[in-house]
A = this chain, B = another copy of it.
Amino acid sequence: MHKLIFILGFLCSTMLTAQTDAETLRTIYTTSLTNGKSYEWLDYLSNQIGGRLSGSLNAEKAVQYTKEELEKLGLDKVWLQPVMVPKWVRGTKEYAFIESGLGQTTTVNICALGGSIATPFGGVKAPVIEVKDFEELKALGRLNVAGKIVFFNRPMQPDLIQTFEAYGGCVNQRYAGAMEAGKLGAVGVIVRSMNLRLDDLPHTGSMSYGDLPNEQRIPSAAISTNDAEKLSGMLALDKNVKFFFSQTCQQMKEVQSYNVIGEITGSEFPNEYIIVGGHLDSWDLGDGSHDDGAGCVQSMDVLRLLKESGIKPKRSIRVVLFMNEENGLRGATKYAEVAKQKDESHIFSLESDAGGFTPRGFSFDCSDAVFNKIESWRSLFKPYLIHYFEKGGSGADVGPLKTETNVCAGLRPDSQRYFDHHHAANDTFDAVNKRELELGAATMTSLVYLIDKYGISPISNSEELKD
């Protein structure tokens, strides 16, 4: 009889535990969808502050705003972590046109790439040489390149299902195009925007000159996909086409900025850290709603949703809003440096930096054993249509924290529309759907809850998930 009661008691407690995880996730999702704060925060960041390029006044406003909002949440700690960041300014609006062999001009839409130098005063005009990649450029050699504007026109591959792969296959043109063309004596570089859609918006993004001496550094700009098609079409008809562009951007001295950090201190293992984050800086053309205002407000809401759902984490949970992901990664580098100095044991670092679209799952940078443990939770996410659990990359800001014992991960939202907006003037609040944003916040919170509860080590299976 006693045995029976014991068994019944055990079964009940098992069932209770089983219900608890599913119910906790239900609570988290419901709270996010009915009482989320992410959308309201994003509205402010996007519409009251706007684009937040590192070193700008807006970036500092965003630091203050998010710190104040985190302070309102009643976390155990909120602080600013100082970091020096580069400051690049766009200057006056760029201007460009295509000049046909007969001297007729057609205005096109360009924007300076982040980190580029200005054109000579009054702009630069030169014949154009179109290439698809660095191999083609090198084969042409100095003889064909010197004195010209090099036009990199390799489109993003449309048949790749995950658009970030298409981005990865193209972005070297933008990042290193000026470096490679500068070595061969080109006078400027124009790069097809990293956009899968044909439209009129130029997409900025970081570029680098590497160690190139100053005299080989040339201005580089992105051109809209429609105008890239136009330029390519005109070049096919007329090799004497010239391109003119003018931009007044410049690199200033480094300035002081901050990572914004908030923490719920763990009740059992306060020295084990789980972090969630996004990057607070953005490019300057839009208001940075998807890249990465969304990731910031979702990460802030993870801590709030844990509290709202009555969850008291065993481990310390931090939200980190990294500064300067876009053109320097200084915030991420600094955070990892300080964590190492303080010997803080980070066990799980999750970034949301792929837009505020419907979440599909996560990508994990971890061992097979850890991955198998995480994947065993998959069924808990099924009601929320979260299905994507794959090994792979995580996020630029959590990358520097990668160690043997720290698992890094990235939220993976639907990516089809992301590059329509990425680094362009239409990365704006209206392109973010409230529910999609909130589902992302709930999905991140749910994973953090499970990792806090069961730990990340594949060995410690004493606390097994009951599902």
Contact = CB atoms under 8 A, between A and B. Distances in A.
Interface of A: 29-30, 33-34, 158-159, 161-163, 196-197, 358, 360, 383-385, 387-388, 414, 416-417, 420, 433-436, 439
Contacts of A417: 433, 435-436
B384 A161 contact: yes
B416 A159 contact: no
14 contacts: A29-B159, A29-B161, A30-B159, A33-B158, A34-B159, A161-B439, A162-B385, A358-B358, A358-B416, A360-B385, A385-B387, A414-B414, A416-B433, A416-B435
Given A161-B383, A385-B387, 4 more contacts: A29-B161, A358-B414, A414-B414, A417-B435
B434 A197 contact: yes
A33 B414 CA distance: 16
A29 B159 CA distance: 7
A170 to B, nearest CB: 16
B384 A385 contact: no
A416 B436 contact: yes
Contact of A433 (B159, B383, B385, B420): B420
Contacts of A383: 161
A339 to B, nearest CB: 34
Nearest to A30: B159
A14 to B, nearest CB: 27
A37 to B, nearest CB: 15
Nearest to A387: B387
Contacts of A414: 358, 414
A433 B388 CA distance: 22
A34 B436 contact: no
A385 B385 contact: no
Given A385-B360, A434-B197, A158 B416 contact: no
Contacts of A161: 29, 383-385, 439
A416 B439 contact: yes
A435 B33 contact: no
Nearest to A26: B159
Contact of A158 (B34, B158, B436): B34
A415 to B, nearest CB: 9
A358 B414 CA distance: 8
A388 B197 CA distance: 27
Nearest to A197: B434
Given A358-B414, A414-B414, A416-B358, A435 B385 contact: no
A439 to B, nearest CB: 7
A397 to B, nearest CB: 25
